[in-house]
A and B are shown apart, each in its own frame.
Chain A
């Protein structure tokens, strides 16, 4: 049951991810991104990481992609012109192909998914208990969380400074 659900959602996620990249229409691409995030959320649910799934849907599918869509609609992008081929494109595609090969080889040689210990029946999985998240966030990952929070604050302030017109600063463009 869990296996077939995994294949279903994994296929769905990958198909939507391809849709994001391949779609000419930006609205279609944004909707595919939303569906792709929903697929990832369902994969999280299959891994018993309910909190992550809910947060992914709440923050990314519910707000971030909605904002993408919002901007796409405001700018009214329709496909866009096809850019001429550049040398850089060839270099980038070769590099990304190589990276993908490295990734696939890594999973093939070092992936140990089959040798994981079987889950113990009675205790809830680590990801299903909210307390585990809280403990890790306030102990092991306290510094990264604070740093990321600080970065986001800086980004927000930057946006405000760049977009707001301050009084008496009309000559600064």
Chain B
């Protein structure tokens, strides 16, 4: 522990960044497996349950269990994507065709630097967030960087130089730009509430969780999702649209556009698009959890600090920063995991919207609703905090 903190700052930074990517990347890949398994459960079929590594098959109980779960299918899929031939069609714009999947990965992996995923008490008793960069403009930076994700879709569709990818990318980019508005407007009440009069002004995600970490069932310690349900709902719907998930997956709409923007892609480039989509989902669910579901606090009115203090009576090492950090991260990941399941649940339950329906929902329903919601909470918060 001490050895790590004695290293130069930039080595610490690189080590932390690699650690986070080493968690996020396999997690995103595992989501693709979860998607197949959950879709199978919802549709009443077993899903991938045959693949197994030959020599491991001799180990009883554990390996057959993992085999049924389809864990080895994940490894097989990954290996297939790496070793498969990766042809570049002759009619594409090569530079942008290759750049598009890379551009999809960059925002997905960059946004995670700003998202805090846990907290621990240091020696002085201060709560320290576990985050790569705890910046003041937190949420704005997340929105800014993730808004760059639209380029990968646009460029992939354009560079493919054929009809279906082009249509897919045009639809998707119109959708991404439309839903950004409602998303931004829906989080404004949260920050009106967090920035009480007299403060310095903050957009930090850590401070949002701090507001939700009050003890007991007071009005101002509630999780924000409980008393701003409309904001939470609008944010969630916009998140579905921003991550291109069904029922908003205009980029793909495989029923009418073959494969949408990635029709011409195969092998590793295609898998990069998918890992990026799941990484976006993970980061988006994380931001939703931080904004509306109390981040790493286990229950409304029961903050992590109280839980750790309570546990100290029973477990001797519960006061250690490492224990609290790991507990916080596990609670946070649990909530994120539920939301990833929710994403998949919705995908395999609801049919896809048509393009005109998407535009109608975005501009005529969600946007007025979010403006009304903002005005309502602005008045309410002004009355409460007067």
Contacts and interface: CB of A to CB of B under 8 A. Distances in A.
B154 A73 contact: yes
B154 A66 contact: yes
| Main secondary structure on B side of the interface with A | helix
Interface in A28-69: 31, 34, 50-51, 54-55, 57-58, 61-63, 66-67, 69
A46 to B, nearest CB: 14
B127 interface: no
A63 B184 CA distance: 13
A129 interface: yes
Contacts of B174: 70
A131 interface: yes
A62 B137 contact: no
Contact of A66 (B157, B166, B177): B177
B115 to A, nearest CB: 15
- Residue among A27, A70, A73, A130 with most chain B CB within 10 A: A130
A69 B157 CA distance: 12
B368 to A, nearest CB: 16
A31 to B, nearest CB: 8
B177 A51 contact: no
Contacts of B35: none
A128 interface: yes
Contacts of A81: none
What size tier do the contact residues of chain A reach? 20 to 34
A7 to B, nearest CB: 19
Given A70-B170, A130-B200, A134-B201, A55 B140 contact: yes
Contacts of B137: 50-51, 54, 130
A27 B201 CA distance: 39
A57 B151 CA distance: 13
Interface stretch (B19-27, B141-149, B292-300): B141-149
A58 B294 CA distance: 26
B144 A129 contact: no
Contact of B144 (A31, A57, A130): A57
| Main secondary structure on A side of the interface with B | helix
Given A73-B170, A130-B203, A131-B199, A66 B151 contact: yes
A63 B174 CA distance: 10
A62 B170 contact: no
A74 interface: yes
Nearest to B142: A54
Contacts of B201: 129-131, 133-134
What size tier do the contact residues of chain B reach? 20 to 34
Given A27-B96, A50-B136, A128-B136, A62 B144 contact: yes
Contacts of A62: 144, 147-148, 150, 180
B359 interface: no
Contacts of A34: 151
Contacts of B271: none
A82 to B, nearest CB: 22
Contacts of A129: 200-201
Contacts of B173: 66, 70
Contact of A54 (B144, B200, B202): B144
Given A63-B177, A128-B136, A134-B201, A54 B141 contact: yes
B140 A58 contact: yes
B143 A58 contact: yes
Given A34-B151, A57-B147, A58-B144, A67 B135 contact: no
A172 to B, nearest CB: 26
B177 A50 contact: no
Nearest to A129: B200
A58 to B, nearest CB: 4
B374 to A, nearest CB: 16
B158 interface: yes
A130 B145 contact: no
B147 A74 contact: no
Given A63-B180, A130-B136, A130-B201, A69 B141 contact: no
Interface in A123-146: 128-131, 133-134
Given A58-B147, A61-B148, A51 B140 contact: yes
Given A51-B137, A130-B136, A130-B201, A69 B147 contact: no
Interface of A: 27, 31, 34, 50-51, 54-55, 57-58, 61-63, 66-67, 69-70, 73-74, 128-131, 133-134
Given A57-B145, A66-B177, 18 more contacts: A31-B155, A50-B135, A54-B140, A55-B140, A55-B144, A57-B144, A58-B140, A58-B144, A62-B144, A62-B147, A63-B180, A66-B150, A70-B154, A70-B173, A70-B174, A73-B170, A130-B136, A130-B200
Interface of B: 96, 135-137, 140-141, 143-145, 147-148, 150-151, 154-155, 157-158, 166, 170, 173-174, 177, 180, 199-203
26 contacts: A31-B151, A34-B151, A54-B143, A55-B140, A57-B144, A57-B148, A58-B140, A61-B144, A62-B144, A62-B147, A62-B148, A62-B150, A63-B177, A63-B180, A66-B154, A66-B173, A69-B151, A70-B170, A70-B173, A70-B174, A73-B154, A73-B170, A129-B200, A130-B137, A130-B201, A133-B201
